[in-house]
Amino acid sequence: EVQFVESGGGLAQTGGSLSLSCTASGFLFDDYHIGWFRQAPGKEREGIACINSETDSTYYAPSVKGRFSIGSAHAKGTVYLQMNSLKPEDTAVYYCAVSRQIMGFIDKDYDLDYWGQGTHVIVSS
C-alpha cells in the first residue's frame, strides 16, 4: 500500500520560512521522480519542485525558484521542501507526490502517480 506522511505546514508571515517533510512508503523510491505540487483555492494544480530520480537534477517552478529548495533522503524515503521568503500567493495546500514521468511536475496536463493528503500553508501579509 502506498502511503505518504506529510508534516510541517502552518502559518507564516510574509518573508518568513517554513519547512515541509514527506515520508513515503509502499513503492520503490528509485523508480519515481519525487516532488511537491500545490493547489490554492479555485486554482489549478501547480508543480513547484521535483527531483529527477535518474539524474538527481532538480526542477523549480518560476514562481518559487530562488526561494524554495527541495532535498531528499532516499534511504529514508523522505523528501523535504524548504520555503523561504514566503509570499501571500504561496498560500495553498502542498502535496508531495511521485511520478514516473517528470512532466507530471512541470505540466498540469500530465498525470502524477501517487500523492499525499496535503498540508496547509498560509502566509499572512
Q: Give the pLDDT confidence of 11-43 residue by residue, as tens digits.
A: 999 999 999 999 999 988 888 999 999 999 999
Q: Give the pLDDT confidence of 75-118 residue by residue, as tens digits.
A: 778 999 999 999 999 999 999 999 999 889 988 889 999 999 99
Sheet holding 78-83, edge to edge: 3-7, 18-25, 78-83, 68-73
Residue identified by cell 496536463 is 109
Statement: residue 61 has pLDDT above 90: yes
> 112 with 95: CB under 8 angstroms?
no
**Of the candidates 77, 84, 79, which has an alpha carbon nearest to the alpha carbon of residue 121?**
84
Average pLDDT, stretch 119-125? 96
